[in-house]
Amino acid sequence: MPTSSSCSKVYTLAIVDSEGRGQPVAHALLAHEDQQHIELFLRDVLQWTTAVESAIFVCDKDFVEINAISGVLPDAKIFLCHFHVMKAFTDKMKRLCITDATSLLTLVQKMLRCGSEETFKTTVETIRNEFPTFHAYLDDNWLPHHALFAPWCPTPRQSHQQPT
């Protein structure tokens, strides 16, 4: 989220309209970027429109945001933004100095776009065998939360904890 000059966090709720264009519909300046303040914003939005009760939310891997959405809107579906997921993956690949980054990138994209649990598991197993250091990163940080980025998964309703 962008930061205003007063060090408040700016949150924007956007929708995709009937013509496929993103439209901002609500903004909030939050004094603190914590679950309590995000929940207050979402409760205000819920008072304006109940349409968000079962909406689809796309966010980065911020468990404070995910838990706030789940807490206020238990019927909402939450997914991770593929741009942010891919950015995290490519940043980690660079830090690990993966020599065949092109092959790993192809596997990661296949994992993110697969249409079945079987394809997902097979792709993860290939990553485990061919890129064990990257698989360790996936296993520690991403695979426990695969329902947030695997398209064939239902969205889980439990809260999420940031790995330590």
Q: What per-residue confidence (pLDDT) applies to 125?
A: 98
> In this predicted structure, what is the pLDDT of residue 147?
87
Torsion sign (Cα): 31, 22, 67, 92:
negative
Query: Out of 75-79, 93-97, 130-134, which region has the weakest mean confidence (pLDDT)?
Result: 75-79
Segment 125-136 shows an average pLDDT of 97
Q: Which residue has the higher pLDDT, 122 or 160?
A: 122
Determine the pLDDT at residue 6.
Answer: 60
**Tokens coding 109:** 């994209």
Q: How confident is the model at residue 156 (pLDDT cuts 50, 70, 90)?
A: very low
Residue 5: its pLDDT value, please?
53
**Once rounded to an integer, what is the mean pLDDT over residues 39-43?**
94
Q: What is the model's pLDDT at position 61?
A: 85
* pLDDT band of 100, cuts 50, 70, 90: very high
CA distance 49 to 57: 15
For residue 56, the model assigns a pLDDT of 87
Average pLDDT, the chain: 86
- For 42-53, what is the mean pLDDT? 90
Phi-psi region at 97: left, alpha or beta (left = phi > 0; alpha = psi -120 to 50): left
> 97 Cβ partners below 8 Å, 6+ apart?
none
Give the Cα separation of 74 and 53 in Å (integer): 7
Model confidence at 161, pLDDT cuts 50, 70, 90, reads: low
Tokens of 59: 């966010």
Cα(77)–Cα(157) distance, rounded to whole angstroms? Answer: 9
* E-assigned strand segments in 92-157: none
In the prediction, which pLDDT does 107 show? 96
Q: Is the pLDDT of residue 2 over 80?
A: no
Cα-based angle 81, 85, 87 (whole degrees, multiple of 5): 115
Whether 28 shows a pLDDT value over 80: the answer reads yes
